Structure formats: C-alpha cells, structure tokens
Chain A
Amino acid sequence: MAVTTETLISMKSIWKFFGGVAVLKGVDLDLRAGEVHSLLGGNGSGKSTLMKILSGAYVKDQGTVEAGGRPVVFAGPEAAHEQGIYLVPQEPKVFPNMSVFENVICGMRAKPAEMLGLVQKYAQDLGFEGSLSDEASSLSIANQQLVEIIRGLVRDARVLILDEPTSTLTFKEVKSLFETIRLLTSKGIGIFFISHRLNEILEISDRVSVLRDGVIVMTEPTSTLSSGDLVRAMLPAGEAKVELENAARGEVRADAPILFEASHLTGEGFTDVSFKVREGEVLGFAGVVGAGRTELAHAILGLDSFASGDVLMRGKKLTRRSPRACQDAGIGYLPEDRHLHGIFLDLPNVDTMTAGILSRLGKPFISRKREDEVAKKYIDELQIKVSSGAQVSRTLSGGNQQKVVISKILSAGPELVILDEPTRGVDAKARLDVYRLIRSLKKSGISVILISSDLSEVIQESDRILVMHNGRIEAEFAQGDFDLERITASAFGIAG
C-alpha cells in the first residue's frame, strides 16, 4: 500500500458533549493519503460520534478539523462531501425503490447523463456484479455497501469512513471488500476503518488508534502490534485484573436438571447457536454490540423469526412462537430498551406490573384488590421507591422503572428470566439492586440468562459465560475460569 506522508485529515482536541456529558474529551486523530487507519474501542467509547463529526452529521463543540491542511467547518454532510469526506454507514442507507444508478447520483448537482460513464467505471473497477438499472431493494448487503462506496467515489472522496463495514458480511464478502479497500488505497484514498474484529483490523490497516472513554489511548503502526496489545489498550486502566467476589452466591449443582435448551438456532444476526441452561443457573452472554445476542433473545421469544433450529423448555419443543407463548412456557424477558418495549410510561406502575397476568386477576372483571396485592408484593420485595402502585411510571427514576418492568416479568411466575442489558442507564445503587435480584432469583431456583456488554458485571454475576462474536458462540467459560482479558479477546473474535 502506498502510504505517503501527505496528511488528508487532521483532527485536533475534538470535544463533544451530549446533555452535559463529555463523549469526546480532546481527541487528536489524523489520516494520511493511501493509508487504512483503524479506529477501535468498546461500546460507548466515542468512535461513532467522532466519525459523525468528521462526516458532518454532528457538529463538534470544540477543537479543529483540518482537511488538506486547511481548517474546515461542516454544517452538514454535503459540506463534508465537498471536502472529499464520505461516510459509509454501518447499515448502508440505500433507497430501495430507486435504481442503483439513481442511488449513486442522488443528491448530486451534475447531470445524470454526465455521471453515467463515471459510475459505470467505478462499478466495474470495484467488481460490482449487478446492473446499474437494478432496483436497490434487490441488492445483497455487500452490494449495497459497494453502492455506498461508489457514491463516495463519484463525489471525489479522498477520505472514506467505513463504519463496521464487515459486521453484516459473509466471509467471502469480507475478502472482496478488503480487495476493494486495497485498490482504493493504492490510488491514494485514505480510509478510516471502524471494526470490532481485531484480526480484520490487523490484516487491513496500516495504523490503529484505540479510543477509550472519549480519549485516544494509543496510536501505533499495525506492524508493531499484536491482538493482545489491542485488547489491553481497550481495557479500563487498573481493571486488567478484576477480583471476583463470589462469596454471596450459591453454586449450581452439576446434576441440576436442564431447564432450557436452544439447539442450532440460525436467523438474521446469529448462526448455529446451541446452549443449555440448568435450573437455578445464571448464564452470562458476553459480546460487543451487534454480536447477535439481542437478536438471539428476540428469536427465542418469537419476536423475530429464525430460519432453522429448535427451542426447548424442559425437553419439550416450543412450537408456538410468540411472547405470549413464551410467558406461558415460563420464560420472562427484560428488554434492552425498557422505554420502548417494557413499560407503560404514562400509566400507574401497577398497570405495567400486572399487564401480563390480567387473566389471572379475576374474570370477567379485574379485581382491583388482587392487582394492588401484586403491586404491593413487588414494591416491597424489590424495594421500589414509589408512593404507591398508582404513581405514574414516568415520574420514577431509571432504576425504579427497571424494577417495575422486572415486577411485570416476575408476576407471571417465570422459570427462566432473560435479562437484556439490565443495568444500562441505571445508577450505581439500582445496579446493586439488580445484582441482588439476580441472586435472589437464583436462590429461588429461577434460571437467568444475563446479556450484558459490561464484562465485569457478567463475570461477577454468572455461573457460566458464553461469549458471542459475529453471531456465533465464540467461547465458553466455566466459573473459576473467568478471565477478563480472555473474555474480551473472545468478544473481539480472537480465540482465547
């Protein structure tokens, strides 16, 4: 690759705040012509925000961006395009009802007839197989991505930002994308490459920068790096070795009966996933965002369809696929986004708590008394800070809303509870309450599947950990075998 010393982009002390919280804290980053510069970081480290600033989708709060040596300010994406910067989003944003050609030139000022030759040339160069007059909705994700790259090229982009371009591609498609990248860099185009996959980063990039908590903690040439170096750079300082405190947690008997089994599940976002959960076991699911864990949970619950595989509860195959059927079978689910999927914000708490069990509260009329009893039981048990069950949920803190949703699940009397990121967006105190809850569930013989991107949390609360990467179970760790570094490595796709 023809890396030169010409600097295409230079960002200096970039700051960005969201609602008073600093997401980027003085980031310096540059890009040279003809190089692939990878940007690596955990969830919420600020990668996407930084790239959105560079592509004009966000406006920075402080700092300078220089393109070609001159300071630039982007009011919107078009301004970034004019400076030759183009972002290829993680999910290609094509217009399904338009032809490939129209998709490419959409929004450009030039006459379509003048662009045709150029678009054809780039399509040919990049090995785009379809016809330019095909409707975009018929394209595979890989080809939609090519459309995005061609979009950038016909806009004379010298800087391409590829945001997790491989996360939705198959193995073969990744290979051909890498060929495309090498072709582009040989022509002097600089590429920011964002990925969670360390081996891909090591393969394709010339330099790697690691972003952690809104700060660049490392920028090094790839040739001097191993995947271990990258993993260590991403880990929070001083937390490389987390001491585990398992004293308060009971053990799972090795002969405890199997409660739940997933067998060879394949669907959109996950591939050939099999695992079992024993009675009273807490099974942790670790991995980065997009590893396929939420998709897997949704498929188990019947929210999404899957292509093949079985879900079994106590050895019995679940044939009816719906959240209702899952509840009847004894599976409860705490959704990742409680506002969107878990709680009735403008109704009294008690309404959310009993929403799933109305048929058990008297027929034909719901007994207000029994409803209040249910509410009181969980308010006491989970120590929910409310005046009464009648208080409207919107007025509660995040942690207490979370507990209201958990009450809803528990009131149905589940045997297995799937918790999807249960501590996201709750404060430290409520976080401890969630951990206490997991332990009390376990004590009463209820099994838990704990999906969390917070590795120390998974390690602390699980009896066993499965690590998902790119839609597959990458590794399994038994208790006593937990190791933050190895689990992180697996989550980023490096055999630990």
Chain B
Amino acid sequence: MKFLMKLLKRREVVVVLLLAIVVAVVGAINPVFVRPATLIDIVTSALILILLGVGESFVIITRGIDVSVGAVMGFAAVCLGLAANAGLSVPLSFGIAVLAGLVAGAISGAGVAFFKVPPIIMTLGTMGVLRGLMPVMTGGSWIDAVPQTVKNFAAARFLGLPATIWITLAIVIVTTIVLRRVRVARYFYPVGDNEEGAFLLGIPVAATKFAAYVISGGFAGIAAIFFVSQLSFVPMQAGSGQEMRAVAASVLGGVSLAGGLGTPIAPLVGGVFLTAIDSILVFLKVPAFWNDAVAGAILLAVVLFDYKIRTMMENEKKKARMLGRASGGLSGGLASGRKPADAQEGLR
C-alpha cells in the first residue's frame, strides 16, 4: 500500500494511468484504435519527440531550457543527408549527424555555462543561426533521395517491433540508470536544485551545465538519424516547432522547470502521450487543426494541477515553520515545526 502511494506520487505513473484510461475509452468507441499495429504506429511516431525530450530533460534538470533542439535536429539532418548523398558510408553519416548535434550543443553550453548568457537567449540564438545555416548548406532546396541504406535503419525489425523502438527504449533505460548510479551524472540534480549549495560542495557547476547542453545536442543528433531514415528526405522546416513539444513532453512526464527533478522516463511517457493525443483526435474524427490546441490544454491542466499541489505543500510547511518558531520562542522552545506528515514520502 505504501509502495502504491509512493508510486502514485510520481508524475510518470499518473501520466501512464491517464494514457491507459484514454486509450481504453477511445478503444471502446473505435476498436481499430487498440489494434497492435495502430499502437505500434503511435509509439514509432513518438520516438523522435522522446529522443529530443531525453536530451531536453538533462538541460531542464539543471534549471535551464534548450529551445534549439528542433533546429539542432534539422541541422544534423541536413549534415546527415549531405554526407550520405555524397557517398559516405551509413555509419559515418550517422556519426556526422551526432557530431553536428554535439557541436551545436557545445556552443549553447559554452554560452550558458561559461559566458553566463541566460539559457533561453543563448539557445534562441543557436536556433536562429542553425535554421539560417540549413538553406545555406543545401542551396535552399530540400535534400531528397537519401540512399536506401539510410532508410533501412527505420525499416529494420527486431522481435516483431521496429528496431528503432528497441533502441529508444534502451537509450531511456541506460540514461535513467546512468543518472541514478553514476556519480558525475548525479551532479545534474544538485546543480538545478540549489546552484549555490552545489558550488559550496565543490561540484563543478559550470562544467555540469555545459555537459547538459552538449548531451541535449547529441540527442538531437540521434533524433536526426531517426528523422532522416523515417522520412527519407530532409525538408527545410525539419524539426521546426519540435523544441516546444520536447519541453512539453518532459514537463508533462514530471521534469520540473524549477530544476532538480525528473528522469528520462518522463519524456518517454510524455512523448507517447502527446503523440497519442494526435492520433486519438483523428480516430475521434476531430479535425486535425485541433491537435495542438488539445495537446496544449492537457499540458496546461497537468502542470497547473501539479503547481497547485506543490504551492499548497510549500505554504503548509512555511506556516508550520512560522508558528513553530513563534511558539518555540514564547514558551522557551516547543516543537521545531518538523515536517508535515504528508511530505515525508520522498521520491527516490
């Protein structure tokens, strides 16, 4: 029971339950929706969002934001397409895409961590530069006719599912474990939770922030591989608008914009949820124009609800502290206002 309560306090679990309910309801209305093929389709189209979200989560956990991930993905996709069409091998082209992402992330990271540019300004700048570079690199046209060998990546199947799903799952699991278990990887949390405290404990704050943006760029590079091999061409607007969806997926899954909280599982469930909403609206015969509005409304509802609960708990604690101090002072010391019982169940 205690375990169950603990589980319910995690946003990932809440979102998964919510998703299950929605899927069940829609399935009851239109059984086609719950066919395995449909569900696999939804997950497959969520993969890019999930990968961008995993990278984005690293940045948000350090209390930053990276609005360039969509542009970085587009830029990396262009690099990949040009490389592949120039006759480079598939692994090499993929490596170039990831490298392009890492470099773009390193630029944002250096600005934020070492030159102290506010994250949103810095990444907006990176986004602008990369979006501008894309047509310069291609001469303004799309890149099409990517070699079949590149497309094979998205078409490969393993144990009855697209290999890309397995790869994404593996990435989420590995990053989650690394974030939990590896000492240096744990630094992302204290830096976002209490930057000054982290500094006083000797944690390399600037290097940690820098790393977060590099990682975010790297994941955008991986997302570019998925993007190109799924789509088999690179339009100039590749990745446009994805940055906001990546932030939304992470936050929906429980990564706190206030920093210090969240896991890569968050963008996994958040990304699937947002993508599922798109398909659900189709199945419910709601015009596709509604997709963004509905997704936005759901995000707002979840975040507002979460925020309300948090501020309520904060206020309770603050009040207990004030009164504890007052009575403690008056009568020569009573209780120290120790913890409201409901806040005891820590996460992690």
Q: Does A496 contact B (CB under 8 A)?
A: no
CB-based contact A268/B333 at 8 Å: no
List residues 314-328 of chain B with CB under 8 A from any CB of chain A: 317-319, 321-326, 328
CB-based contact A139/B326 at 8 Å: no
Q: Which of A79, A140, A267, A271 has the most CB of B within 10 A?
A: A140
> Nearest Cβ in chain A — how far from B227, in angstroms?
33
Residue of A nearest to B332 (CB): A171
CB-based contact B348/A266 at 8 Å: no
List residues 136-159 of chain A with CB under 8 A from any CB of chain B: 137-143, 151
Q: Does B194 contact A (CB under 8 A)?
A: yes
Other-chain contact of B336, A57, A89, A173 (Cβ < 8 Å): A173
Chain A 92-108, CB-CB to B under 8 Å as 1, else 0, gives: 01111111001000111
> Nearest Cβ in chain A — how far from B177, in angstroms?
14
List residues 300-348 of chain B with CB under 8 A from any CB of chain A: 317-319, 321-326, 328-330, 332-334, 336-340, 343-348
Other-chain contact of B334, A94, A97, A172 (Cβ < 8 Å): A172
Q: A170-B328, A271-B329, A307-B319 are in contact. Are A95 and B339 (CB under 8 A)?
A: no
CA distance A140 to B318 in the complex (A): 10
- Other than the given A87-B200, A107-B190, A129-B338, 13 more pairs (CB < 8 A) read A78-B201, A95-B197, A97-B260, A99-B346, A108-B183, A135-B343, A170-B325, A170-B329, A172-B332, A173-B328, A175-B333, A271-B326, A271-B330
CB-based contact A272/B330 at 8 Å: yes
Considering the complex of A and B, which 9 residue pairs feature the smallest CB-CB distances, nearest first? A78-B202, A172-B333, A93-B197, A170-B328, A135-B346, A107-B201, A138-B339, A95-B193, A171-B333
> Nearest Cβ in chain B — how far from A153, in angstroms?
14
List residues 174-220 of chain A with CB under 8 A from any CB of chain B: 175
Q: A107-B190, A140-B324 are in contact. Are A76 and B202 (CB under 8 A)?
A: yes
> Nearest Cβ in chain A — how far from B58, in angstroms?
16
List residues 210-224 of chain B with CB under 8 A from any CB of chain A: none
CB-based contact A170/B260 at 8 Å: no
CB-based contact A140/B201 at 8 Å: no
Q: Does A133 contact B (CB under 8 A)?
A: yes
B contact residues around A93 at 8 Å (CB): 194, 196-197, 200-201
Q: Does A134 contact B (CB under 8 A)?
A: yes
Count residues of chain B with CB under 8 A from any CB of chain A: 44
Q: Does B75 contact A (CB under 8 A)?
A: no
> Nearest Cβ in chain B — how far from A304, in angstroms?
10
CA distance A116 to B234 in the complex (A): 52
CB-based contact B189/A89 at 8 Å: no
A contact residues around B317 at 8 Å (CB): 137-138
Other-chain contact of B321, A106, A268, A471 (Cβ < 8 Å): A268
Residue of A nearest to B61 (CB): A97
CA distance A79 to B199 in the complex (A): 12
CB-based contact A77/B337 at 8 Å: no
> Nearest Cβ in chain A — how far from B272, in angstroms?
25
Residue of A nearest to B187 (CB): A107
CA distance A93 to B197 in the complex (A): 5
B contact residues around A307 at 8 Å (CB): 319, 322-323, 326
List residues 99-140 of chain A with CB under 8 A from any CB of chain B: 99, 102, 106-109, 129-130, 133-135, 137-140
> Nearest Cβ in chain A — how far from B325, in angstroms?
6
A contact residues around B187 at 8 Å (CB): 107
Other-chain contact of B328, A134, A138, A171 (Cβ < 8 Å): A171
B contact residues around A129 at 8 Å (CB): 338
Other-chain contact of B198, A107, A271, A472 (Cβ < 8 Å): A107
